[in-house]
Structure 1
Amino acid sequence: MDEDVIPIIRVEAADVALKWYELLGFTAQWEHRFEPHLPAFVEVMRGGVRLFLSEHEGDARPGALIYLRVSDVDEIAERFGMRPEPTPWAREIELHDPDGNRLRIGTPLG
């Protein structure tokens, strides 16, 4: 097994968050609820990048910042009507998901 780090992002409504993360190219892998009326815990994946979206209040705090390094930031920027900004290390955009979590998305220079 390869070791991995999977950020957990607090979301209020997993179904709403999932639709937003799909715009970034993520796809749902699985969803777990202990009972149908209890909070959801969802894994999403884009290439080799995985995130957990959790409705559980104790799992994470809203307002997280995740950096996502991608091969083509322009493709994502276009979906959100944005233009990447240059930095000394990458061309980047910053997005906020429906729950206020920030995603800084960049394509490295060179």
Structure 2
Amino acid sequence: MALNDVEEAHVEDREGNRYFVYEHLAQGSPTVTNPTGKETYRHSLAATTVRPDRKGTPYLYTLNLSCRQDLWDDLQPLFKESIDSYRLVPTTSNYIAPDVRPWQFW
């Protein structure tokens, strides 16, 4: 197994926007319960979409949900529901591009 493996990936069109949905498994870092970290894995489900700012510069927006592999079976349904509901709302006059205030994420 590689340090990070993509288990599944696909593209979805949601309300006229394209979302890239992918499940991946990554070798984790050591934890309190497993100080060596060699057998620690994290399972993730994520969705990424692209939206340009007012000048046309494209930005990637990602929702990534991750847990220890041993918790995956319990959390996967909730993760899937969350990823399926992930949408960017239309921008308003209050929109601030990520490069203007990178610390502001709301």
TM-score range, shorter chain: under 0.3
Structure showing the higher strand proportion among its residues? 2
Computing the radius of gyration from Cα coordinates, the structure with the larger value is 2
TM-score by length of 2: 0.24
TM-score by length of 1: 0.23
- More relative contact order in 1 or in 2 (CA 8 Å, sep 6+)? 1
